A and B are shown apart, each in its own frame.
Chain A
Amino acid sequence: MNQGVYETVAQWIPEKSRVLDLGTGDGAFLERLIQGRRVVGEGVEKDAALVGRCVERGLVVHQGDIADGLDQYADGTFDFVLLLGTFQELLEPAEIIHEAFRVGRQIIVSYSNFAHYRVRLQLLFWGRTPLTRSLPAPWYRTRNLHFLSVADFETFCRDEAFEATRQAFFSGGHRIQYLPNLRAETAVCLLHSTGPAKR
């Protein structure tokens, strides 16, 4: 995933915070947070080989999927729950975010923007499922279950009673300031819960 996203997330997390990294992969980013931001962190990862890499790094890690990982923790265990790069792969994203608010006060989530102009153009002119830097796998091999845009995510937050207090948008390594729904490939935002979902 985008290096800029990691830089931004690292800046958003105050030193010595308690952090749960869902889908932590090989633990490289979590290790960086622990070393650079002195956070107290744990990871959840499904893939056994990647969990093995986390153990090599000396990280506390739980092998399981995201829902199983969240279920392990008591209410309010963490300051931050990270959901970086896997949001559009979740079968029930709203339920996962609500559960993440049970174990953590704030959530940092990143996702790929399906309304990026290249995506729009590919669909419009070629009539094919788009292939871009941030959507690199063909339709039959992608792990993405949901195709959402920046505008969709804003609606999602309103309906589920989450508030994005900080947001950052990226195209390649560059931060995007204007027209993110058209120009951003990746978005990352810091969510607070504002109450029960309006459903």
Chain B
Amino acid sequence: MGAEHVSILDGDLQDQQVAGYQSALGVTRTTTVTLPGIQTQSGFKFDTVDVNFLTLGKLSPARDNAILVCHGLSGNAHVAGSDPQTGRPGWWDLHVGPGKAIDTDKFYVIASNTLGGCSGTTGPGSINPRTGKPFGMTFPRVTIRDMVRVQAALLDHLGIEKLFAVVGASMGGMQALAWAVDWPARTRICIPIATCTAHSAMQIAFNEVGRRAITADPDWNGGEYSESCFPSHGLAVARMVGHVTYLSELAMTRKFGRRRQANATDGNQFSVESYLDHQGSSFVKRFDPNSYLYLTRALDEFDLFGNTAPTEVLRGMQVRFLVISFSSDWLYPPAQSRELVRQLKRAGIAVTYLNLETDYGHDSFLIENPPFAHVLGNFLNGGHAHKPNPAGAAVLGEGI
């Protein structure tokens, strides 16, 4: 499958053409459905919400094999398969498909674009039905929990009462955690990857740099921009900062070192500059600057336990967890995952935890990563899901 061509250093699958890479799923198409509205945590009432989503595989007659995959900040519903327009593989095509870690031969995989996003689901770029104009910065503040609320509405629409698993990395990992806490009866297994229960000052700081790059671009114009007057410089800079935090020093040294780009326009650009420039300009073509502001704000505001003791929040929960972090991830450091694991275990919940040794930083979940795929696949396919014998189950009553 041309795995040797796929490297984290080339960025997300969706921002590149990978030579020789063919998705085993062929072309996959997302669809958009209009669902009954929700009330946000901030009190705003949407009359209706559009949700762009993709399903892969077959739902079992018992409707018990559904896996919800939650995307990160820059992802979308097109999780796997080739895009009908661009031909590019979905953002997690390496790990979702027939025979892959999330096996579409066994599971019914659902992925949806998040509330506040810009790939078909209601977000700041959507038309406000009350004014006939795009929401822009009049879009209400949305939270990770609002996003999950909309995902739950999508499951209602699809007729799925209980998820076999909810899986997500980074922002998607926060959503997975919110699923377990807000909808424990609808969640069998929760797999948060490279994530945390609340952003640290450093994580907020990086997001603020990205937001400031956008809002300081004169073309942002208070969020009221057009195609001809678009804050592309600001958004590109935000993405460049983001990409630096998704990688690691070692990964960047290996890929770029101090090499120069031979055919760059100014002839003397460092390779890493050219790479970031490419990442920035590809992102501008597919992402909405206001969405970036709203989603990063939702990330920063997320606090799974808030002022409540974790044991209070988690009491009686029957959800099983697989928590994964990556040793070289300095944006979501393993210590945050370990603290989450500690909170879960001390509440008597069965958790399997791995801190995988990888060199590729936060983006380690996006790349060809056999140990990661192995653990994820074995956990989902293996006996764990069917063996009711973790300590938590004994403490709290029966297992699943």
Is the pair B352, A61 in contact by a Cβ cutoff of 8 Å?
yes
Q: Contact partner of A58 among B353, B355, B386, CB < 8 A? A: B386
Asked whether B338 lies within 8 Å of A60 as measured between CB atoms, the reply is: no
Q: Which of B354, B375, B379, B387 has the most CB of A within 10 A?
A: B354
Complex interface: chain A residues within 8 A of B341 (CB): 62, 72
Q: Which residues of B contact A179 (CB under 8 A)?
A: none
Residue interface bits B345-362, CB-to-A below 8 A is 1, else 0: 111101111111100000
B383 touches A73 (CB 8 A): no
Would A52 and B391 be within 8 Å (CB), given that A58-B384, A61-B352, A72-B341 are in contact? no
Q: From the candidates B346, B355, B383, name the one contacting A63 in the complex (CB within 8 A).
A: B355
Encode A47-87 as 1/0 by CB contact (under 8 A) with B: 01101101111111111100010011110011000000000
B30 to chain A, nearest CB (A): 32
A41 within 8 A of B: yes
A34 an interface residue at 8 Å Cβ cutoff?
Answer: yes
List which A7-40 residues lie within 8 A (CB) of chain B. 18, 20, 34, 39-40
Is A78 a contact of B391 with CB atoms below 8 Å? yes
State A103–B357 Cα separation when bound (angstroms).
28
Residue of A nearest to B321 (CB): A60
Query: CB < 8 Å: which of B342, B347, B355 contacts A71?
Result: B342
The interface of chain B, by Cβ under 8 A from chain A, is 338, 341-342, 345-348, 350-357, 371, 374-375, 378-379, 382-387, 389-391, 393-395
Contact (Cβ within 8 A) B348 A60: no
Nearest CB in chain A: distance from B70 CB, A: 21
Q: Using Cβ atoms and an 8 Å threshold, which residues of chain A touch B345?
A: 62, 72-74, 77
Contact of A55 among B384, B386, B390 (CB under 8 A): B384
User: When the two chains form their complex, are residues A55 and B348 in contact, meaning their CB atoms are under 8 A apart?
Assistant: no
Partner of A57, one of B356, B375, B383: B383
List residues of chain A with CB under 8 Å of any chain B CB.
18, 20, 34, 39-42, 48-49, 51-52, 54-64, 68, 71-74, 77-78
> Of B379, B387, B391, which is within 8 A of A42 by CB?
B391
Cα–Cα, bound, A18→B11 (Å):
45
Residue from B357, B374, B375, B391 in contact with A60 in the complex, judged by beta carbons closer than 8 Å: B391
Ordered by A's residue number, 15 sampled pairs between the chains whose C-beta atoms are within 8 Å are A48-B355, A48-B356, A49-B371, A55-B354, A56-B378, A56-B382, A57-B383, A59-B352, A60-B350, A60-B384, A63-B355, A72-B342, A73-B345, A74-B348, A77-B391
Question: Taking A18-B394, A61-B352 as contacts, is the C-beta distance between A74 and B384 under 8 angstroms?
Answer: no
Cβ-defined contact, A62 with B391, below 8 A: no
Chain A residues in 8 Å Cβ range of B352: 54-55, 59-62
Residue pair A42, B350 in contact (C-beta under 8 Å)? yes
> With A48-B354, A63-B355, A77-B348 in contact, is A58–B338 under 8 Å at CB?
no
Contact in complex: B391, A55 (CB < 8 Å): no
A52 contacts B346, CB within 8 Å?
A: no
Known: A40-B389, A57-B382, A62-B351. 9 other contacts (CB 8 A): A18-B391, A18-B394, A34-B387, A52-B374, A56-B378, A58-B382, A72-B341, A72-B346, A74-B348
A55 lies within 8 A of B379 (CB): yes
B346, closest chain A residue (CB): A74
Main secondary structure of the interface of B (DSSP, over half): helix
Distance between Cα atoms of A71 and B356 in the complex (Å)? 20
Query: Do A40 and B394 touch (CB < 8 A)?
Result: yes
Is A55 a contact partner of B342 (Cβ separation < 8 A)? Answer: no
Min C-beta distance of A175 to chain B, whole Å? 30
Complex alpha-carbon distance, A50 and B356, angstroms? 12
Contact A55 B338 (CB under 8 A): no
Q: A41 with B389: in contact, given A60-B350, A62-B352, A74-B345 (CB under 8 Å)?
A: yes
Using known A-B contacts A56-B378, A71-B342, A72-B342, determine if residue A64 contacts B391 with beta carbons closer than 8 Å: no
**Contacts of A68 on B, CB cut-off 8 Å?**
338
Q: Once the chains are docked, how many angstroms separate the CA of A95 from the CA of B313?
A: 31
Leading 8 A-B pairs by shortest Cβ distance: A58-B383, A58-B384, A40-B394, A72-B345, A74-B346, A60-B390, A63-B354, A56-B378
Complex CA gap A167/B382 in Å reads 37
For A71, the chain B residues whose CB sits under 8 A away are 342
Min CB–CB distance A154 → chain B (angstroms): 32
Contact between B371 and A48, CB atoms less than 8 A apart: yes
Contacts of A78 in B (CB 8 A): 391
Contact B389–A34 (Cβ < 8 Å) = yes
Bound-state CA distance A61–B353 (Å) is 7
Given A56-B378, A71-B342, A77:B395 Cβ within 8 A: yes
Q: Are B353 and A48 in contact (CB under 8 A)?
A: no
Question: Contact: B384 with A62, CB < 8 Å?
Answer: no
C-alpha gap A73/B391 in the complex (Å): 10
CB-nearest residue of chain A to B382: A58
CA distance A72 to B353 in the complex (A): 11
Bound Cα distance from A105 to B384, whole angstroms = 26
Are B384 and A59 neighbours in the complex by a CB distance under 8 Å? Answer: yes
